[in-house]
Amino acid sequence: MNILITGAAGFIGSHMAELLAASGYNVTGLDNFSPYYDVDLKKRNAAALELKGIKILNKDLAEKEIYKSLPADFDFIIHFAAQPGISAQIEFEDYLRNNVIATQNLLVFARGIKNLKHFFNISTSSIYGLDATFPETTAPAPASNYGVSKLSAEQLVMAESRSGNLHASSLRLYSVYGPRERPEKLYTKLIKCAFNKESFTLFEGSEQHLRSFTYVGDIVKGILAAVERHTALNGEIINLGSEESYSTREGIEIVEQQLEVKIGIQVVPRRAGDQLQTAAKIDKAKELLGYTAPTTLAQGLKEQIAWYKAEFL
């Protein structure tokens, strides 16, 4: 079985590519190596994947001409590629280009693949809005340009399914962390501050925010289960995440305990669009995928700290 993974050099995409290759799939990865964060980190991921026989193509999904040179023999497409983050420094046009236009271009390409079995869109709990504690039947209420653009991308994909053009589904992920987490994300940044004796920047009010922090290994196993059970998933939207929620303060304390340090905190003005709480409702994932997320936050952070030491110290 041939699988195309977009965003394959990124955090979750690289883990997904590894798991699929280890499970016997023929994986092709695509990434545009965006400078949103250090491109060298993505190049490291790509090099590690290529050593495992995974081909990585440097292509930008928003550019229509790239599709002329892409092979068209894929059985599955898993679409991770996106403009992430809710920073005020990111222009709306970046979300539009990389999340909406790129997804539409990819869908046009997918419609031309004769034997494509399923298109998996990788979405986010940010679609629900400031309070992401709901099942999939709840009306979305995104509160950031990121959430709005990811909802738009999801609806483009689901429209293809509703129209009968593609078999497709969308998986909404919750606060994924673990080895290779992006450098601006909570735990990589916390761990870096701890080792370098730097102050950690905390947005005002976020210390008490609750998150369904979900270990990346649990996430990619859930997506693999979706690939293996794809015949029952056309038109489905499914939450994937941990049922356990922790506050940001609890997460900081776990890192401090494991590293036996006290991390200095610098509070800065609150960030617009930041979710107040997330709690993954995964009854549907349990039923359709047999999904669970058993890794505790302490267990997952132990793995992330070990990765950080190996990569950066």
Q: Per-residue pLDDT tens for 68-96?
A: 999 999 999 999 999 998 877 899 999 99
> Domain extents for the chain?
2-173+216-243+280-294
Q: Per-residue pLDDT tens for 21-40?
A: 999 999 999 999 999 999 99
* Least confident interval from 46-55, 229-238, 273-282: 273-282
The set of residues, in sequence order, having a beta carbon less than 8 Å from that of 164 and lying 6+ positions away, is none
Indicate the average pLDDT of the chain.
96
Degrees, nearest 5: CA angle 93-99-105: 105
Rounded Cα distance, 251 and 211, in Å: 10
Q: Per-residue pLDDT tens for 246-292?
A: 999 999 999 999 999 999 999 888 877 788 899 999 999 999 999 99
What is the architecture, at CATH level 2, of domain 2-173+216-243+280-294? 3-Layer(aba) Sandwich (3.40)
For residue 274, the model assigns a pLDDT of: 82
pTM score: 0.97
Q: Per-residue pLDDT tens for 148-189?
A: 999 999 999 999 999 999 999 999 999 999 999 999 999 999
DSSP 98: I
For residue 176, the model assigns a pLDDT of: 98
According to DSSP H, which parts of the chain are helical? 11-22, 39-51, 92-95, 102-111, 145-162, 186-196, 216-228, 248-259, 283-289, 297-312
The set of residues, in sequence order, having a beta carbon less than 8 Å from that of 4 and lying 6+ positions away, is 28, 29, 30, 70, 74, 76, 77, 78
DSSP 64: G
Rounded Cα distance, 267 and 278, in Å: 22
Q: Which of 267, 259, 173 is nearest to 211 (CA)?
A: 173
Q: Per-residue pLDDT tens for 134-143?
A: 999 999 999 9
Residues annotated as catalytic (active site), given as ranges: 146
Q: Could you tell me if 56 and 29 are in contact, meaning their C-beta atoms sit under 8 angstroms apart? A: yes
